[in-house]
Amino acid sequence: MNTVNVSRRTLLTSTGGAIGLASIGAFGALSPAAKALASTTKDAAKPLPAYASWKNTDSLIIHSANTMETKRSAFGSGVITPLDRLFVRNNIAPPSEDIVANPDVWELKIEGVKNPTTLTVADLKTMGMASVAMVLQCSGNGRAYFPEKPSGTQWTVGAAGCVVFTGIPVKTLLEQVGGMVESAQYMTGTGGEPIPEGLDPNTIQVERSVPLEGIEDALLAWEINGEPIPLAHGGPLRMVVPGYTGVNNVKYIKRLAFTEEQSPANIQQSGYRLAPMGEKGAPAHQSVWKMPVKSWITYPAGEAEQTVKAGKVQVQGLAMGGTSEVTGVEVSLDGGKNWQKAEFIGPDLGPYAWRQFVLSTELKAGEYSITSRATNKAGDVQPENRLENNRGYLNNSWADHALTITVA
């Protein structure tokens, strides 16, 4: 059994390597045998798309050219997720790489304010600046644990990362354009993907509205982890709304509008709604905005079954508070019957960031069901059960995120 596992691993690694090369433009150079391997191996890694060819293949599960997640074992123990391991999610194909060649010339239209205007990134950079460390997490992270297998990417834990965005606070920008119009109820951001001619933009446009409350800590960001935002993560300019799920963080933003109504785009009206099982999303259902308190174990956590040596073990994980800072986390080694307090490690980067945690323990030989349960300042405790909903959003169930490990 061990031998089988090892050879399967080797196979996966070499396949991943070959395809990784292919993604940087050498596909034609692949030997026929490598091509055959890539297309027939059951678990063969898919290739990285060109716009994300700089990503670390070994750290990612590549679901498709527009969906890649960080492996549970690849978050590392530093609080900030390195960009080459950060998940990627595009609802439609991203724009051309040309738009990040000179970020400063990118234009943003600003509407629904007293003095509507168009500003370049260079203009914005002169007007204000702030940084925020925050969890970026897809609304559907954890969808794979819904037994009903809702449609959409089968994300496990890795459609999430903790990153630092730098840009101009939306509030600062608002001061410079005379404030929003009185009728404004939402901040609406429009993604810069080109819309093919003849298509009704509402069918595919990534345009999201968040309630005004979200403006408080929102930024229009041009940097991520200290570098210009790469195309894959929404450069040249991205709307970021700390505490809100991934979709509300509009990439390649070309228009920022303060609107009375939510965007008419499908992605706002029917997508990302908490519809009951069997029902289609509609405006009557709650929109997916704020993230709930959540945590998960990252070690021991192999992608397949993981065997750990008996003795002292540092059980590790990460915990986030959602819109209220995470204040505590407990670990269970017996499927939720008993809980032990874990220690946070590393720097505290504020309410929107996650914290790494560790439980130093001693494990005897046997099988363990390990999981974690976080609490935030607002008093929310990570629940045992997921909130059932048709599209598999917002899964923060500690039971769903439990792992079975073997100690030998």
Ligand X SMILES: Nc1nc2c(c(=O)[nH]1)N[C@H]1C(S)=C(S)[C@@H](COP(=O)(O)O)O[C@H]1N2
Under the rule (CB under 5 A), what is the footprint of Mo ion? 89, 138, 246-247
Q: Give the helix ranges, DSSP H, for 217-370.
A: 266-269
From the CB of 52, what's the least distance to ligand X, in Å? 9
Q: Which is nearer to ligand X, 18 or 250 (CB)?
A: 250
Residue ranges of E strands in 82-180: 88-89, 107-111, 117-120, 130-137, 160-169
The per-residue b/e assignment along 32-49, b for 16 or more CB within 10 angstroms, e otherwise, is eebeebbeeeeebbbbbb
Among 48, 247, 374, 402, binds ligand X (CB under 6 A): 247
Chosen from Mo ion, ligand X, none, partner binding at 250 (C-beta under 5 to 8 Å by type): ligand X
Per CB under 6 A, 89 contacts ligand X? yes
> Could you tell me which stretch among 23-31, 242-250, 341-349, 376-384 binds ligand X (CB under 6 A)?
242-250
Angle at 188 between CA 186 and CA 193, to 5 degrees: 165
- Give whole-number Cα distances, 390 to 114, 140, 208, 380, in Å: 40, 11, 20, 23
Nearer to ligand X, 20 or 234 (CB): 234
**393 near ligand X (CB under 6 A):** no
- The secondary structure element, H or E, covering residue 239 is strand 238-240
The least CB distance from residue 211 to ligand X, in Å, is 18
Q: 172 and 163 in contact (C-beta within 8 Å)?
A: no
Query: Which one, 72 or 89, has the nearer CB to Mo ion?
Result: 89
Q: What x-and-dash track marks residues 171-200 binding ligand X by CB under 6 A?
A: --------------------x-x-------
Q: Which of 15, 75, 16, 109 is nearest to 357 (CA)?
A: 75
Q: Which is nearer to ligand X, 292 or 300 (by Cβ)?
A: 292
CB 104 within 8 A of CB 125: yes
Q: Identify whether the C-beta of residue 57 lies closer than 8 Å to the C-beta of residue 45.
A: yes
Candidates 2-10, 81-89, 125-133, 330-338: pick the segment binding ligand X (CB under 6 A): 81-89
Among 46, 72, 85, 233, the residue binding ligand X under the rule CB under 6 A is 233
74 binds ligand X (CB under 6 A): no
Residue with Cβ nearer Mo ion (144 or 342): 144
Give the Cβ contact number of residue 406 at 10 Å: 13
Q: Which of 34, 32, 86, 92 is nearest to 61 (CA)?
A: 86
Task: Name which of ligand X, Mo ion, none residue 206 binds, using a CB cut-off of 5 to 8 Å depending on partner kind.
Answer: ligand X
> With CB under 6 A as the contact rule, which of the stretches 85-93, 298-306, 344-352, 394-402 interacts with ligand X?
85-93
| Residue choice 12, 46, 65, 87 for contact with ligand X (CB under 6 A) | 87
Q: Using CB under 6 A, count the residues that bind ligand X.
A: 20
Other C-beta atoms within 10 Å of 334: how many? 11
Of the candidates 16, 49, 242, 246, which one interacts with ligand X according to CB under 6 A?
246
Cα separation, 3 vs 251, in Å, equals: 45
Site of interaction with ligand X (CB under 6 A): 86-92, 136, 138, 191, 193, 206, 233-234, 246-247, 249-252
